[in-house]
Amino acid sequence: MKTIKWSARILSLCILVFALPFYFGYGNPLPFANSSYSLWENVALSMMPLVFIGLALGWKYPKVAGWLIVGAIAIGFIVGLLTEANFSVNLAVPIIPGILYLVDGYKRQEKGNPQI
């Protein structure tokens, strides 16, 4: 279990360090602020802060963080499929620590160490 927990933490830290500069380098990272952005771009700009919050929150509350990450990415993929957007696979990378956080959170609950 320690391997899963620390793998999720290290991977989430790497994603945060690498992805945050790209997010803020997008120009105007506020969703729905620029009318030239497509629906998919606005959804991606909305889901990424939730993913970033989930990646950081997972250190303390892995189950909540896992659902936040997986839920945001799932919504992004659904909107991407419905709008026929050419979404990138690199948006799926944060789902790995999200799933690991879920595994860690539910294993903690089984052992009697409940987390939110």
Q: 28 in a domain, yes or no?
A: yes
Q: 91 in a domain, yes or no?
A: yes
Q: Tokens 């992805």 belong to which residue? A: 19
| Rounded Cα distance, 76 and 47, in Å | 7
Q: 54 in a domain, yes or no?
A: yes
pLDDT level of residue 14 (50, 70, 90 thresholds): very high
Summary count for the chain: helices (H), strands (E): 4, 0
Q: 72 in a domain, yes or no?
A: yes
Q: How many CB atoms lie within 10 A of CB 102?
A: 20
**pTM listed for this prediction:** 0.83
Q: How many CB atoms lie within 10 A of CB 89?
A: 6
Number of domains in the chain: 1
- pLDDT, residue 107, reads 86
- Model confidence pLDDT, tens digit, residues 45-75: 888 899 999 999 999 999 999 999 999 999 8
Q: How many CB atoms lie within 10 A of CB 114?
A: 10
- Which range marks the domain in which residue 40 is found? 2-110
- pLDDT, residue 28, reads 65
Q: 116 in a domain, yes or no?
A: no
pLDDT at 116 over 60: no
